[in-house]
Structure formats: structure tokens, C-alpha cells
Amino acid sequence: MEFSSKLLENAVNEMSQLPGIGKRTALRLVLHMLRQPKEQTLDFTKALSTMRTEIKLCKSCHNISDTDLCDICANPNRNESIVCVVEDIRDVMAIENTSSFKGLYHVLGGKISPMDGIGPNELNISSLVEKVKLGAITELIFALGSTMEGDTTNFYIFKQIQGCNVKTSTIARGISVGNELEYTDEVTLGRSIINRIPFEASLKS
């Protein structure tokens, strides 16, 4: 791509560094900005740079936060003895949207994935193990995605806290609500039969 302006070229190159945004899309977005009032672009860049420099991670659960302790950890109405282990902040948001969990979270910041060079030391695992060893946690819920990396991470943490007096559970795998059996993959369907629940219990949820 030949640009008539170095400034434009720089902007497009920076924009196309974002995941899923190619050069053409980047150019489209940058030209859109040029058609908008100047202030709009300056608001945009200010919001992003302020966010990047001033945002904090909650020192307890590693969730993204404006303060040292995030709103969830600081909330006295949450049950501190149940901790849900998730991969990243999007999972916290997804679970919070369901309003079905009143405990705290622990954000790992990823999953163990040797292929991508991510080992246990790159994740917030040691602080979780420490918290468990302090003894205040009664249940740990593993809520990672159902992939090989997720299962590996679950198992690694499970091994680290063996011997501690804590119950561990994992979120249920099974067919989605509203789904037909014929469209469900066989592994999921198999697990949903093995991990079947008493019918009376299903009436409550």
C-alpha cells in the first residue's frame, strides 16, 4: 500500500497492529476518524492512553480495577469463602451477568499453554495457592474454558493445593439450555449423561 502521507501511514500501521484488523480495515477506520471532528479522535486516544497508564489490577483477585481492591473484593456482602477461578476479566463479567454467584473471583490471566510459552509462573497461580493455604477458603470453583489448556490448568492448581482443607469443583459441562441433542457434539453429550443430576435438583435451577 502506497500512502501519500507519512502521518497517515503511521496511523494505519499502528491501527493494524490490533488483532483481527488488517491494513484495509485500519485505513477505513483511520479515514473515518479524519471525517469526524478532531475532538472525537482526541477523546478516543486520551481514553485509551489514560486507561493503559492508570488502570490497576486488584491486589487480591487480579481483576481489572480503578482502585487497589476491586469492587467485588471490597463488597462486604460477597461470600469470601467461595472463590471462582477464571481465565480473564471477560469471564468475570460473563459470570457476574448471570447473577448466580455471590463469592469472590481469582483471575489467572490466562491458561497454562506450553505451545504459547505460558507456564504456571506467567499466571497468577502462586497467589491463589497462598490464599488457599491461609485456610479461609472453603470451596474453589474451577471455571476455565473446556479445552485441553483449561483442563491442564485446573489439574495443575488441584495438585498444588492437595492436602489443604478445601473443596474443589468445576462448572458443569453439558448441553446448552435450548439446544437439541442432535446438534450437540458427542463428547459433551457423553459427559452430560455421565454427570447427570437428580431430576428434583434440576427443577430448582
Interface with a copy of itself by CB under 8 A: which residues?
A: 1-8, 10-11, 13-15, 17-21, 25, 27-34, 38, 40-55, 58, 63-66, 70-72, 88-90, 92-93, 96-97
Closer residue to a copy of itself (CB): 26 or 166: 26
Closer residue to a copy of itself (CB): 85 or 166: 85
In the complex, minimum distance from the CB of residue 145 to a copy of itself, in angstroms, rounded to a whole number: 15
Helix (H) or strand (E) holding 82: strand 79-86
CA-CA-CA-CA torsion sign (68, 72, 78, 82): negative
Closer residue to a copy of itself (CB): 118 or 129: 118
In the complex, minimum distance from the CB of residue 25 to a copy of itself, in angstroms, rounded to a whole number: 8
Neighbours of 155 (CB within 10 A): 12
Three-class DSSP category at 175? coil
In the complex, minimum distance from the CB of residue 2 to a copy of itself, in angstroms, rounded to a whole number: 6
Closer residue to a copy of itself (CB): 48 or 172: 48
In the complex, minimum distance from the CB of residue 84 to a copy of itself, in angstroms, rounded to a whole number: 14
Neighbours of 2 (CB within 10 A): 4
In the complex, minimum distance from the CB of residue 196 to a copy of itself, in angstroms, rounded to a whole number: 33
Three-class DSSP category at 123? coil
Closer residue to a copy of itself (CB): 24 or 167: 24
Closer residue to a copy of itself (CB): 98 or 162: 98
In the complex, minimum distance from the CB of residue 92 to a copy of itself, in angstroms, rounded to a whole number: 7
Report which of 120, 121, 134, 125 is spatially closest to residue 106, judged by C-alpha positions.
125
3-state helix, strand, coil in the chain (%, to 5): 50, 15, 40
CB 140 within 8 A of CB 161: yes
H helices of the chain, in order, are: 6-15, 23-35, 38-54, 71-74, 89-98, 126-133, 148-160, 186-194, 199-204
